[in-house]
């Protein structure tokens, strides 16, 4: 299973980014291969409009099963994620990626 | 003659000035007042007039025709607003993000994205004596004011002669809706209050008007509060102060009960008379 995170860095102890569309990085963890890959999304700050759908489309390319994020996607991004069949968990703000993953594992995060 | 009444800061008195000035002008000539703050129009709260006409307003957005689509991806590449995105074998359109530029539709090689009308708001046309009042209201959930503002100005242009003075009550701020509401103005009145916050946003508004190459002047509202930095700044920048509307509890009381002020408050009347004279002078100059 592949799990995506919205983050401000590229390591397990990096801080989560509470934003979805304008997240700085996307980290993707494959729990079968134990591989952690990252995508630098910082160019999104140049976009005045449609950051949500754009990031959602990028996420779709990584084909994750789960997204763990902070505040949650806006309406447009949520409809892309739904279409892409990505299950979203929110509430993972102000914590490290590792903590967010553990909270998800312990069923503490709220599913959308 | 198009006069736009704008401001940087919100709540400085654009609507107070627009409605009172329009009614004052209407005592002696035909005037059109148009509320372009389509996200929250409020001029109508102060105007008693008869509804003459009402029409729905539409913007054009693309609709994906699956059977014609070859999934070439040109549509999403040409969209500057990420309003069209390709997701696997599906094209998703986000009407709220679409700016009706037609790029995706026109450049689609297989005509798979025809433009279709989508209702975005309602325009109402009222009349009371010399005053024509045009108000547009964006539907709840619509995010873009610009297309409705543009169509409202177009309605005014199509229904009234150039000679009639038109007052446009613009939205606050300095973003796209303000640009749309002021870009065709012959003169812009920037309403401010004499506070640090007022001055800060006035500077932004002035910068915007200079960029648009507009003639503009400043109306100081709630004169008497804050400090004289706004006046000093305007003097330094050689910007005319068109009027100073006093800070008076009586004005707030009238406003909060939905009443006009120009006919109840001699000092306000005096200040508005000087703005009126300024407009009539500008109008004569433009008629020459």
Q: Using a CB-CB distance cutoff of 8 angstroms, which residues of chain B are in contact with residue A83?
A: 87, 90, 92
Q: CA Rg, chain B, in Å?
A: 21
In the predicted model, is pLDDT for residue B288 greater than 90? Answer: no
DSSP type of residue B113: -
Q: Which two structure tokens, joined as six digits, stand for B139?
A: 């539907």
User: Which of A20, A49, A77, A79 to mutate to test binding with chain B, by most B CBs within 10 Å of its CB?
Assistant: A49
Q: Using a CB-CB distance cutoff of 8 angstroms, which residues of chain A are in contact with residue B87?
A: 57, 60, 80, 83-84
Indicate yes or no: CB of A50 within 8 angstroms of CB of B82.
yes
Instruction: Report how far apart the first and last C-alpha atoms of chain A are (Å, whole number).
Output: 19
Sign for the CA dihedral angle at B44, B46, B51, B52 comes to negative
In the predicted model, is pLDDT for residue B280 greater than 80? Answer: yes
Which residues are registered as beta bridge partners of B4?
Answer: B168, B188
Q: Where are the domains of chain B?
A: 2-58+121-287, 64-113
Q: CA Rg, chain A, in Å?
A: 12
3-state secondary structure of A5: strand
Q: What is the pLDDT of residues B91-134, one digit of tens each?
A: 999 998 999 999 999 999 999 999 999 999 999 999 999 999 99
**Minimum-distance CB partner of B82 among A54, A75, A83:** A54
Sheet containing strand A2-7, strands side by side = A35-40, A25-30, A2-7, A66-68, A87-90, A110-111
Q: What is the pLDDT of residues B158-200, one digit of tens each?
A: 999 988 999 999 999 999 999 999 999 999 999 999 999 999 9
Q: Which two structure tokens, joined as six digits, stand for A26?
A: 């996307």
**Average pLDDT estimate for B8-36:** 96
Does A57 touch chain B if contact means CB atoms closer than 8 Å? yes
Distance from C-alpha of A60 to C-alpha of A86, rounded to nearest angstrom? 8
Distance from C-alpha of A84 to C-alpha of A59, rounded to nearest angstrom? 9
Burial class, B183, CB count within 10 angstroms (exposed 0-12 / middle 13-18 / buried 19+): middle
**Minimum-distance CB partner of A57 among B83, B87, B96:** B87
Predicted confidence band of residue B151 (pLDDT cuts 50, 70, 90): very high
Structural contact between residues B147 and B119, judged by C-beta atoms closer than 8 angstroms: no
* All residues at 6 or more sequence positions from A77 whose CB lies less than 8 Å from its CB, including other chains: A20, A21, A52, A53, A55, A56
Predicted confidence band of residue A110 (pLDDT cuts 50, 70, 90): very high
Q: Which two structure tokens, joined as six digits, stand for A54?
A: 């754009």
Q: What is the 3-state secondary structure of B152-186? A: HHHHHHHHCCCCCEEEEECCCCCCHHHHHHHCCCC
* All residues at 6 or more sequence positions from B142 whose CB lies less than 8 Å from its CB, including other chains: B96, B120, B121, B148
> Which secondary-structure segment (H or E) carries A111?
strand A110-111
Indicate yes or no: CB of B94 within 8 angstroms of CB of A76.
yes
Q: What is the pLDDT of residue B285?
A: 85
Indicate yes or no: CB of B87 within 8 angstroms of CB of A76.
no
**Minimum-distance CB partner of A50 among B83, B86, B88:** B83
How many residues appear in chain A? 112
How many residues appear in chain B? 288
**Average pLDDT estimate for B56-62:** 97
**Average pLDDT estimate for B55-75:** 97
ipTM: 0.84
Does B92 touch chain A if contact means CB atoms closer than 8 Å? yes
User: Does this chain's domain B2-58+121-287 share its CATH topology with B64-113?
Assistant: no
- The full set of domains in chain A, from first to last, is 2-111 (3.30.420.130)
Structural contact between residues A96 and A81, judged by C-beta atoms closer than 8 angstroms: no
Which residues are registered as beta bridge partners of A111?
Answer: A89
In the predicted model, is pLDDT for residue B67 greater than 70? Answer: yes
Does B101 touch chain A if contact means CB atoms closer than 8 Å? no
| Other beta carbons less than 10 A from residue A50's beta carbon | 25
In the predicted model, is pLDDT for residue A48 greater than 90? Answer: no
The topology (CATH level 3) of B2-58+121-287 is Rossmann fold (3.40.50)
Diameter of chain A by CA atoms? 37
Q: What is the pLDDT of residues A57-109, one digit of tens each?
A: 999 999 999 999 999 999 999 999 999 999 999 999 999 999 999 999 999 99
DSSP type of residue A44: G
In the predicted model, is pLDDT for residue A35 greater than 70? Answer: yes
Indicate yes or no: CB of A50 within 8 angstroms of CB of B81.
yes
Q: What is the dihedral of CA B79, B170, B123, B116, to 10 degrees?
A: 0
B64-113: CATH number: 3.30.70.20
Among chain B residues, CA nearest to A82: B87
């Amino acid at each position: 299973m592949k799990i995506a995170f919205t983050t401000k860095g590229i390591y397990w102890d990096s801080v989560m980014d509470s934003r979805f569309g304008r997240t700085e990085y996307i980290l993707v963890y494959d729990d079968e291969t134990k591989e952690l890959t990252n995508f630098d999304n910082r160019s999104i700050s140049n976009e005045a409009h449609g950051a949500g759908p754009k990031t959602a489309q990028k996420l779709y390319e990584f084909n994750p099963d789960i997204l763990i994020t902070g505040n949650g996607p806006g309406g447009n991004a949520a409809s892309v994620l739904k279409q892409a069949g990505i299950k979203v968990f929110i509430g993972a703000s102000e914590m490290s990626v590792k903590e967010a993953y553990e909270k998800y594992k312990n069923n503490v995060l709220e599913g959308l | 003659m198009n006069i736009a009444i704008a401001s940087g800061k919100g709540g400085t008195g654009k609507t107070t000035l627009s409605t009172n000035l329009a009614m004052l002008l209407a005592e002696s000539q035909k005037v059109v007042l148009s509320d372009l703050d389509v996200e929250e129009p409020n001029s109508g709260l102060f105007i008693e007039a008869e509804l003459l006409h009402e029409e729905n307003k539409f913007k054009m957005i693309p609709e994906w025709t699956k059977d014609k689509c070859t999934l070439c991806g040109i549509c999403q590449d040409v969209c500057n607003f990420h309003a069209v995105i390709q997701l696997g074998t599906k094209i998703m359109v986000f009407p709220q993000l679409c700016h009706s530029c037609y790029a995706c539709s026109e450049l689609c090689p297989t005509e798979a994205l025809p433009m279709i009308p989508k209702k975005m708001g309602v325009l109402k046309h009222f009349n009371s004596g010399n005053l024509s009042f045009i108000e547009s209201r964006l539907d709840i959930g619509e995010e873009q004011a610009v297309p409705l503002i543009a169509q409202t100005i177009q309605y005014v242009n199509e229904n009234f002669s150039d000679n009639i003075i038109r007052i446009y009550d613009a939205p606050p701020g300095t973003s796209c809706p303000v640009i749309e509401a002021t870009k065709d103005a012959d003169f812009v009145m920037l309403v401010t209050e004499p506070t640090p916050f007022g001055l800060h946003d006035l500077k932004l508004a002035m910068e915007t008007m200079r960029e648009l190459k507009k003639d503009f002047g400043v109306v100081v509202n709630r004169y008497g509060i804050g400090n004289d930095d706004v006046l000093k700044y305007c003097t330094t920048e050689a910007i005319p102060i068109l009027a100073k509307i006093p800070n008076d509890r009586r004005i707030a009381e009238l406003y909060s009960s939905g009443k006009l002020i120009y006919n109840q408050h001699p000092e306000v009347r005096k200040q508005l008379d000087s703005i009126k004279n300024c407009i009539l002078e500008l109008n004569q100059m433009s008629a020459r």
